[in-house]
Amino acid sequence: MQKKNKKKIIISDATLRDGNHAIKHQINRAQLNIYCKAAERAGVDIVEVGHGNGIGASSIQVGLSNLADTKMLEICRKILKKTKLGIHVIPGFATKNDIDNAINIGVDVFRIASHCTEADITQKHIEYIRKKNKMVLGVLMMSHMVNKNVLYDQAKKMKQYGADGLVLMDSAGAYLPSDVKEKVSYLSRKLKKFPIGFHAHNNLGLAIANSVEAVNSGASMIDGCARGFGAGAGNTQIEVLIAVFNKLKIRTNVDLYKILDCGDIAEKFLVKSIPSISSTSVVSGLSGVFSGFIKHVIKHSEKHKVNPRDVFFELGKRNAVAGQEDLILDVVKNLKKSKQNFIY
Amino acid sequence: MKKIRVAIFGTGNIGTDLLVKIFRSKYLECNLFSGRSFLSLGLKKFRAEKLKNKRKYRNLILSDKGVNALVKNSNNFDLIFDCTSAKLHKKNFKLFRKLKKKIINLTPTDDGYMCIPVLNLEECNKSIELNMVSCGAQSSVPVAFTMSKIFKKRVQYIETTSTISSKSAGPATRLNLDEYIYSTQRAINYFARVNKCKAILNLNPAFPHINMETTTYAKIKGKKVSKSELNRFKKLLKSIISKLRKYVRGHKIIVEPTLIDDVLVVKTKTIGAGDYLPSYAGNLDIINCAAVAAGEYYAKKK
């Protein structure tokens, strides 16, 4: 079924957005500068920039940014020429004011995201950006939680609002390649000419395999991060992705050597510790909990001396969605209480 | 005591739940329930109820003529609960003024005196129009107010996140997330007297449906919060929440005030009374209970 050589796959680089999760949203001016230059040189199609949960998300709840959204975007805007500047927008965190700021700065691509069942909260924002004639993609986060029919209904809504395409996010790193095949091929078949993207996390070591599967199933946009620099166990490692795509003769605009440079630059200047699949990340993926939770889970678990694995499974049981970081403290405190009850 | 006669404008989730509550009230009597269509669930439900129990509902006029029904029947009520949308409220409020009725505004607009019953019922009662802000404000503002009462100018920043069940968020709520955020922030600014604040709203589709939960954070600068200060905070918060529980019975603290570095955290949960929507819709319950409390206070003082 593979349609090789047909159309170039659009590569969206989330290093400066998802990677921000890995350093508690502390990315600085110099890092933005150096990485944007490298990504532009490599021919990446879109560079996504901002707080880990997108614009307007700097908060105690998720983590306070080092730089204001507008600052980050201005810095990158000055550098990016051919490469498009993109942002992640979650209604409920971000408002029209944030979108207006981004439009004024000159953001090119708006990715309007909701939990995988809540597409209708993106209606106003997608329609607004459509009217402003900017590229707008609908994003369904935590998409492992529902089946292909639900995803299709939600995607249809985003299409109706005026989105130019849809990105499925495996925000928890919980997909298996068979899940990708089932969902992506169903959506691309049903939605015909509507471009589909896929955003993977590596909790179960499957980010590259899932991204390849997505392309083989009809996806035309793939997200990646240099050195996999992203929330939790990290994302699809973009330089490996390009290498694998080259081997499979899947075409992109990205230059292999220069994207390898991006990886080295990220390692040298951005990454504190290279994302690896820690035991806790594995459990995070298994329990289907948002990857961005891991730093908060570890912090609260250490303080209250509970097992972070138990915390993840409990969060999974409670169906936590992205943005519900405040639930972690509640779960940790309850686990601690029940542990004490057990001892006495 | 003679009851105050009211009209409910808007027959969606909010309006319908409010009507069920008002039929229990000792101080309020609903004479007009007006929406846009008899196909709306609220009007459908009460049309059927009225057929079943003619005596109980003998004074209740049901109408699908929207605002025209308010004009036509304006001699039948003294107080309007506006449960429509921000857009409709903006369109109609001049007309409400002309009718010379007291208004309790449940739409996410800036109009009217912001009312959080546990904090300012007396103060806002004189105002011709009250604004019930948002469900998130009704649950977070009492906590934010307590924070600023104890830590005063040391409160640098307040933030609140509410998570509600997807099922309880109707189409109007979903379209008005920005308005929800702006109005909740405005209320925190006003009541807690902080310049910097942020409101966040999450929808969670989990089944069984989750209850409304609200976490409120304050960043406190200056000297470290002492144990005695924290105790004073706990004590005042407890007394305010117990007053709040007089009109929202399902509201409680689920994570006791906790200090994480310089951030004070409190988490509350609201279980609804299950009047129209089931008990998971605490978000609906808290704003409607607040609106009824404001209406009853007005009735008692009149």
Q: Structural domain tally of chain B?
A: 2
Question: So what's the pLDDT on residue A344?
Answer: 44
Mean of the per-residue pLDDT values of chain A = 95
Q: Is A92 on the interface with B (CB under 8 A)?
A: yes
Rg value, chain A, Cα: 19
Q: Are A257 and A26 in contact (CB under 8 A)?
A: no
A31: Cβ contacts below 8 Å, ≥ 6 apart = A16, A269, A270
pLDDT for A104-145, tens place per residue?
999 999 999 999 999 999 999 999 999 999 999 999 999 999
Is B273 found in the same domain as B180? yes
Contacts of B219 in chain A (CB under 8 A): 60
| The 3-state secondary structure of B216-284, one letter per residue | EEEEECCCCCCHHHHHHHHHHHHHHHHHHCCCCCCEEEEEEEEEECCEEEEEEEECCCCCCCCCCCHHH
Decide if pLDDT at A2 tops 60. no
Is B17 found in the same domain as B101? yes
Of B115, B135, B197, B289, catalytic: B135
Write the residue in B161, B174, B210 that is nearest to A61 by C-beta.
B161
Q: Which two tokens stand for residue A177?
A: 């390649």
State whether A118 and B181 contact (CB < 8 Å). Answer: no
Is B48 found in the same domain as B99? yes
pLDDT for B136-175, tens place per residue?
999 999 999 999 999 999 999 999 999 999 999 988 889 9
Q: Are A142 and A116 in contact (CB under 8 A)?
A: yes
pLDDT for A27-78, tens place per residue?
999 999 999 999 999 999 999 999 999 999 999 999 999 999 999 999 999 9
| CATH number of B118's domain | 3.40.50.720
Is B152 found in the same domain as B85? no
Is B154 found in the same domain as B239? yes
Is B160 found in the same domain as B180? yes
Q: Where residue B66 falls among pLDDT bands split at 50, 70, 90?
A: very high
Decide if pLDDT at A343 tops 60. no
Helix (H, G, I), strand (E, B) or coil at B105: strand
Question: So what's the pLDDT on residue B35?
Answer: 96
Q: Is A124 on the interface with B (CB under 8 A)?
A: yes
Q: What is the DSSP letter of A82?
A: S
Average pLDDT over residues B52-56: 92
- What is the number of CB-based contacts under 8 A between chain A and chain B? 88
Contacts of A96 in chain B (CB under 8 A): 178
Decide if pLDDT at A309 tops 80. yes
Helix residue spans in chain A (DSSP H)? 19-22, 29-42, 69-79, 96-105, 123-131, 148-161, 177-190, 207-216, 238-248, 256-265, 279-287, 294-304, 308-317, 326-343
Interface probe with A: pick from B85, B200, B260, most Cβ of A within 10 Å: B200
State whether B202 and A324 contact (CB < 8 Å). Answer: yes
Q: Are B180 and B238 in contact (CB under 8 A)?
A: no
Which residue range is the domain that position B66 belongs to? 4-133+284-301
Q: Which two tokens stand for residue B131?
A: 């604004």
Helix (H, G, I), strand (E, B) or coil at B6: strand
Average pLDDT over residues A19-34: 97
| CATH number of B223's domain | 3.30.360.10
- A141: nearest Cα among A217, A67, A223: A223
pLDDT for A243-262, tens place per residue?
999 999 999 999 999 999 99
Domains of chain A, CATH where assigned: 10-270 (3.20.20.70), 279-343 (1.10.8.60)
Helix residue spans in B64-128 (DSSP H)? 67-72, 86-99, 117-124
Is B230 found in the same domain as B122? no
- For A148, phi then psi, to 5°, come to -65, -30
Q: Is B178 on the interface with A (CB under 8 A)?
A: yes
Decide if pLDDT at A5 tops 70. no
pLDDT for A141-170, tens place per residue?
999 999 999 999 999 999 999 999 999 999
Q: Which two tokens stand for residue A217?
A: 């199933």
Is B181 found in the same domain as B121? no
Interface probe with B: pick from A326, A330, A332, A333, most Cβ of B within 10 Å: A326
**Dihedral of CA B171/B174/B176/B179: which sign?**
positive
Average pLDDT over residues A172-199: 97
Is B257 found in the same domain as B159? yes
Q: Residue A107 burial (CB < 10 Å; 0-12/13-18/19+)?
A: buried
Q: How close, in Å, is residue A211 to chain B by CA atoms?
A: 27
Question: So what's the pLDDT on residue B279?
Answer: 95
Decide if pLDDT at B278 tops 70. yes
pLDDT for A275-307, tens place per residue?
889 999 999 999 999 999 999 999 999 999 999
**Cα A21 from Cα B80, distance rounded (Å):** 48
pLDDT for B175-206, tens place per residue?
999 999 999 999 999 999 999 999 999 999 99
Sheet containing B197-204: give its strands across.
B197-204, B155-165, B212-220, B263-270, B251-260
Q: Is A261 on the interface with B (CB under 8 A)?
A: no
What share of chain A has pLDDT > 90, as a percent?
94
Mean of the per-residue pLDDT values of chain B = 95
Assess whether A21 carries a catalytic annotation. Answer: yes
**Dihedral of CA A295/A299/A300/A304: which sign?**
positive
Is B147 found in the same domain as B273? yes
Is B124 found in the same domain as B50? yes
- Between the CA atoms of A223, A229, A233 and A237, what dihedral angle is there, to the nearest 10 degrees? 50
What share of chain A has pLDDT > 70, as a percent?
97
Q: Is A120 on the interface with B (CB under 8 A)?
A: yes
Question: So what's the pLDDT on residue B37?
Answer: 93
Decide if pLDDT at A342 tops 70. no
**Cα B50 from Cα B221, distance rounded (Å):** 58
Q: Are B21 and B292 in contact (CB under 8 A)?
A: yes
Q: Where residue A341 falls among pLDDT bands split at 50, 70, 90?
A: low
Contacts of A115 in chain B (CB under 8 A): 202-205
Is B201 found in the same domain as B77? no
Average pLDDT over residues B82-106: 92
Question: So what's the pLDDT on residue B85?
Answer: 87
Q: Are A239 and A259 in contact (CB under 8 A)?
A: yes
Helix (H, G, I), strand (E, B) or coil at A123: helix
